[in-house]
Amino acid sequence: MELTVPRRYCGPPESGNGGWVSGSLAAHVRTSGPLPAVSVRLSAPPPLERPMPVVGDDPDPLTGTSVLRLLDGDVLVATGTAVAELDEPVPAPASWDEAHAAEERYEGAEDHPFPTCFSCGTGRADGDGLRLRPGPLADGSGRYATTWTVPDDVSRPVVWAALDCPGGWSAGIAGRPMVLGTMTAQVWRVPEPGERLVVTAWQRGAEGRRHWSASTLHDADGAMVGRAEATWVAVDPESVRPREQP
């Protein structure tokens, strides 16, 4: 089994979007019963247009869970495993109008560390990338929100990408570039093309270079479609490059 990241799904210009890559690996992780969520840890920048083996370890004899490893040669790119359901209470979602207004305060419109990003990049043309614009809500809560009209080519990894970057902006990417370190998510359904949804995100804490966030995705009826928790790591943007091709 292999995973290849098409160039369209980049984050930084030479590596994969963390949410899309995490969701793609998560699609191969078996979930059931009390372990319906998947946690993916990114250990190295995922290369583009290069097949990477997905290797499964033997299940743990006590928990029955196994770890999937995504490899680029001898470099460990990511690991994925089933985990317990995310059950931390979440705040009420932003409304469509509130999220739309928050987009006017999107900090990435003025200064974006990775304008090529599939999820929130400002350098993507209409129809190429999600072009999310998460900005702070006007209520002073510190939450961020953005609207999302679902594209025709939506998939489960694309939903992970939609949950990804809003969390990063709520964690403080503006003025301090970060990359995704770990993402744990549950997606109850893949939305239909053309659906109008709202992503709401908030910071969960910070220590040194590490920042924690959470995000939710709600449909027009207020039902939660997906949710995620993430760890972000502050970096030098120039350092985010995959290993050189042998």
Question: How does pLDDT run across 124-152, given as a tens digit for each residue?
Answer: 988 899 999 999 999 999 999 999 999 99
**Helix%, strand%, coil% for the chain, nearest 5:** 20, 35, 50
Q: For the chain, what are the domain ranges?
A: 2-85+92-237
Q: In this predicted model, what pLDDT tens digit does every residue of 178-192 receive, in sequence order?
A: 899 999 999 999 999
What are the CA-CA distances from residue 185 to residues 7, 20, 162, 225, 246 (Å)?
24, 12, 11, 11, 34
Q: What's the mean pLDDT in 8-35?
A: 90
Tokens of 159: 């939903």
Q: Tally Cβ neighbours within 10 Å of residue 161.
A: 27
Tokens of 140: 């002073």
Say whether pLDDT at 42 is over 80: yes
Q: Which amino acid is at 102?
A: A
Task: Determine the 3-state secondary structure of 206 from DSSP.
Answer: strand
Q: In this predicted model, what pLDDT tens digit does every residue of 44-89 receive, in sequence order?
A: 999 999 999 999 876 655 556 678 999 999 999 999 999 988 989 9
Distance in angstroms (rounded) separating the CA atoms of residues 233 and 96: 30
What radius of gyration do the chain's Cα atoms show? 17
If we measure between CA atoms, which residue out of 114, 103, 87, 116 comes closest to residue 200? 103
| pTM of the shown model | 0.93
Rounded to the nearest 10°, the torsion over CA 183, 80, 47, 20 is -50
Q: What's the mean pLDDT in 88-94?
A: 94
CATH superfamily of 2-85+92-237: Acyl-CoA thioesterase, double hotdog domain (2.40.160.210)
